[in-house]
Amino acid sequence: MKSAVEELRRADHIVVLTGAGMSVESGIAPFRGEDGLWSEFDPQEMASVTGFSKHPERCWQLFRLQIEECFGAKPHEGYEALVEMEDHGLEAVITQNVDGLHQKAGSKKVLELHGTLNELVCDSCGNRKDTEEMVGEILDGEIPYCECEAVMRPDVVLFGEPLPQNTLNEAWSAVEDTSLIISIGTSSVVQPAASLPLTAKRSGSTIMEVNVEPTQLTPRADHFLEGKAGEILPELVERLKDF
């Protein structure tokens, strides 16, 4: 912990990468793992481009569940700590999560690699809406329709779709310029997020990892802090302030 705090203090450019583990601590169900959503829902049926075009109402069962969770969730103290870390060199949060909790906590620069549940998009005409505008109807079991009469969907990346290119470009350039990358609650198996810390390291950055268990990244990390993000991040920031 002490050397991690010193590392943070030395770093003038910090980038954070967050994965499902961060959201799990705020009560959001992960996709992977034993109790993950994919043990209950078939991703090809429920969250793919072809699944959505064939039977959007079935996909909306999953989207509704996710929207309900994300609108009911509160960012834990780890999120607040990342907001405070902006005063100490944190420049961007790159996230694989679609729940918008970083923005809810107040983080200024958030790059959402897999899109967001907070916006709806129409694949037919490109129309967009804030999910909040229709959240009441959605949670009552309705499916949101666009003015053009097509079914809208959350602006999340479905299976069979590429990641948003602009966001991805911003993420790559952020990690190339950083002096420290902190990987938090990510299993480090899903690409391209798994490559981001290694790219940062090749450009001279240090890797810090915060996770409840070791991952594939751990052997390459310079600092591994084992435990919950909601406990470790506030402690890091508190100690940083004491310096």
Contact residues toward Zn ion (CB under 5 A) are 122, 124-125, 127, 146, 148, 150
CB atoms within 10 A of CB 158: 19
Residue of 13, 76, 102, 114 marked active site: 114
Q: Two tokens at 127?
A: 């129309």
Task: Please report how many Cα atoms fall inside a 13 Å half-sphere around the Cα of residue 193, on the Cβ side.
Answer: 27
CB of 145 to Zn ion, least distance (A): 8
**124 vs 169 by CB, closer to Zn ion:** 124
* Nearest to 212, CA basis, from 81, 39, 24: 24
**153 vs 223 by CB, closer to Zn ion:** 153
Residue that the structure tokens 């003015």 belong to: 147
**152 vs 233 by CB, closer to Zn ion:** 152
Q: What is the rounded distance in angstroms from the CA atom of residue 119 to the CA atom of residue 67? A: 10
* Nearest to 124, CA basis, from 153, 167, 158, 159: 153
CB of 146 to Zn ion, least distance (A): 3
CB of 150 to Zn ion, least distance (A): 5
**29 vs 150 by CB, closer to Zn ion:** 150
CB of 154 to Zn ion, least distance (A): 15
Q: What is the rounded distance in angstroms from the CA atom of residue 42 to the CA atom of residue 38? A: 6
Q: Is 55 a catalytic residue?
A: no
Contact 1, 238 (CB under 8 A): no
Q: Two tokens at 112?
A: 């959402």
* Enzyme catalytic residues: 114
